[in-house]
Amino acid sequence: MEWSFKTAEELIAALRSGAVSSVELTDEAIARIERDDDVTNAVCVPDFDRARAAALRADQARARGEERALLGVPVTVKECYDVAGLPTTWGMPPHRDFLPAEDAVQVSRLKEAGAVVLGKTNVPLGLQDIQSFNEIYGTTTNPWDPARTSGGSSGGSAAALASGFGALSIGSDIAGSLRTPAHFCGVYAHKPTLGLVASRGMVAPSEPALPVGLDLAVVGPMARSARDLTLLLDVMAGPDPLTHGVAHRLALPPARHERLSDFRVLVLDEHPLIATGSAVRAGVHRVADALADGGARVARHSPLLPDLTEAATLYMQLLISGSVARFPLESDEQLRTRVAGLSPDDESLEAVRLRALLFSHRDWLQANHRREIHRHGWRQLFAEFDAVVCPITPTPAFPHDHTATPLDRRIDIDGVEYPYFDQLVWAGLATMPGLPATAVPAGRSAEGLPVGVQLIGPMSEDRTPLRLAELLEPRTGGFRRPVSAGRDRS
């Protein structure tokens, strides 16, 4: 039997019954990577010798009667996580030889749960792109069409899952970096509530692995099924043992409902600042129809929805000012001249991003205050609704674009060009207030490319969008195995 495209839940059942061993699963996964990853280039740092040794230990532990959440399950890890003995570069050439001495807290949790780490997956330079390519490891392609991107910055992880390279992966998200690759590659991902999952050791190689989190940024699970997301989130969730974990334990509330017919859902398919492509709009409609067919209460408008234009503006201000704080510009004289030349009436997102590059602390505090007002608005909305369904990006996976200056790139939406980074507004809808959001497959475009949507839920109620994703899975088709270009040679 072939195991590479089974869910983690199915693999665990097979391991428990003795139908397969972890060594067999690991050998099959390694063989598939060695055979098929030459084009996709998802697993940039293999760790096969240690994976085989870990699989053998998992089988021995099971034979002794041990039981752990992921015992013997092959997984991958995004390159930006520290794994002792493997390079952590974030795709930055000056750090190509950096070897951390300790595992990131989430890598430790994977190993404690018994997972077998196959290796690390590719990322963009500094994790700062919607694609995954860098000078060290090259370009990760989309398993459905090698001419297109797998997304970023967790593009390697999404491509690995879609290709059958391990049952689970862990990624990170500040600008849709979990959700966009899942949408582009046809898999599942969950952006947890801000602060729910400890991120120590998911840090640029020039920085110490401190027990602090970055504003907007989260780490989270990726999988080929909705139930596997919950399985992996339960392993990952909880405070850092060096800080809040000293005095606190996590107890996530259950999902608001167990039946689809009990859910109240707001569906959005239009944004005031960017068009929604026809393929993505169709995906949103497929999910809306599945909800309605299942008896859920579906609405298309609500006066309680926070203003989408201001939400996008605040998101860009917080994202860009935070990015510059972590990766300072070498010189900002030309930038100051450009900003000074902007019309006071220019409220485009391009202008917002430029001004945010020069934000003062006072500017940031003002934006943060407005964020709190938006959070209050979301609390009011989630008193009337249980989830919001909306796009992740306006298009399916787009062709590779390695234009040296990302600000010069454009995204084509049904024949109309928009600034490249404007497509982040949908991802920012959940990121700016720190809400949980689950990316789910929602069919295919006319070209056969995967299309996904996100299910945004109430803060700290992560099980609500995850449960909704589980209920929708059989109605929307869930994960489908890529068969493009004759590269599925199993």
Catalytic residue IDs:
78, 153, 177
Q: CB of 319 within 8 A of CB of 175?
A: yes
Q: Is the peptide bond before 225 cis (omega within 30 degrees of 0)?
A: no
Measure the CA–CA gap between 394 and 469, rounded to whole angstroms.
20
- All residues at 6 or more sequence positions from 59 whose CB lies less than 8 Å from its CB, including other chains: 21, 22, 23, 72
Percent of the chain that is helix, strand, coil (3-state, to 5): 40, 15, 45
Picking from 62, 287, 275, the residue whose alpha carbon sits closest to that of residue 183 is: 287
Is residue 432 within 8 A of residue 414, CB to CB? The reply is no
Distance CA 394, CA 412 (A): 9
Separation between Cα atoms, residue 15 and residue 313, nearest integer Å:
49
Q: What is the DSSP string of 57-123?
A: HHHHHHHTT---TTTT-EEEEETTB--TTS---TT-GGGTT---SS--HHHHHHHHTT-EEEEEE--
Per-position b or e across 77-92, b if 16+ CB within 10 A of its CB: bbbbbbbeebbbbbbb
Surface-to-core class of residue 94, CB atoms within 10 Å of its CB (0-12 exposed, 13-18 middle, 19+ buried):
exposed
Strand stretches in 200-352, DSSP E: 218-223, 264-267, 297-299
Task: Measure the CA–CA gap between 432 and 402, rounded to whole angstroms.
Answer: 27
SS3 for 372-396 is: HHHHHHHHHHCCCCCEEEEECCCCC
Three-class DSSP category at 153 = coil
Q: Which residues contact 301 (CB under 8 A, 6 or more apart)?
A: none
Q: Give CA–CA dist 362/358, Å, rounded.
A: 11
In terms of Cα–Cα distance, which of 477, 453, 475 is closest to 465? 453
Continuous segment of H or E residues that includes residue 39: helix 22-40
- For residue 257, give the 3-state DSSP assignment: coil
Instruction: Please state the length of the chain.
Output: 490
Q: Please give the helix or strand (H or E) that residue 292 lies within, else none.
A: helix 278-293
